[in-house]
Amino acid sequence: MHTSQRLRKTDLRISLALYPLLSGRKLKKHFACTGEISLSGDILGVVGLLPKIIAAKEIGVKILFLPKSNEKEVLRDVPKNVIANLEIAFLETFDQAVHLAFFNSIL
């Protein structure tokens, strides 16, 4: 990946972790997320979701925030017993992630 491409996006987890420092709001517990955010706020798809979902479930995560662009892949390729008892929110924008993580709703 070229340096210029790296500068055009950031990690969703890091961005959500920094939000409380700026807003004073507390982050919801028991959720995990993955994805990258473009400079325009879009959540970009990622690869290698199965091991991430399994790891999240093993440590007791109840809610997953995943990129909307990965929805078909997850529903098609991840075994049903792996995603059973998980609430998965497929998100398109950073604003949606913030509202779900801090306000318990999606725009």
- Residue 96 confidence (pLDDT): 94
- Residue 76 confidence (pLDDT): 95
* Pairing verdict, β 31-33 and 36-38: unpaired
Structure pTM?
0.84
Tens-digit pLDDT profile for residues 52-90: 999 999 999 999 999 999 999 999 999 999 999 999 999
Query: What b/e string do you get for 59-84 counting C-beta neighbours within 10 Å, with b at 16 or more?
Result: eebebbbbbbbbeebbeeebeeeebe
Q: pLDDT class for 6, splitting at 50, 70, 90? A: low
Task: Over range 25-37, report the average pLDDT.
Answer: 85
Terminal Cα distance for the chain, rounded: 32
Asked whether the predicted pLDDT for residue 99 surpasses 70, the reply is yes
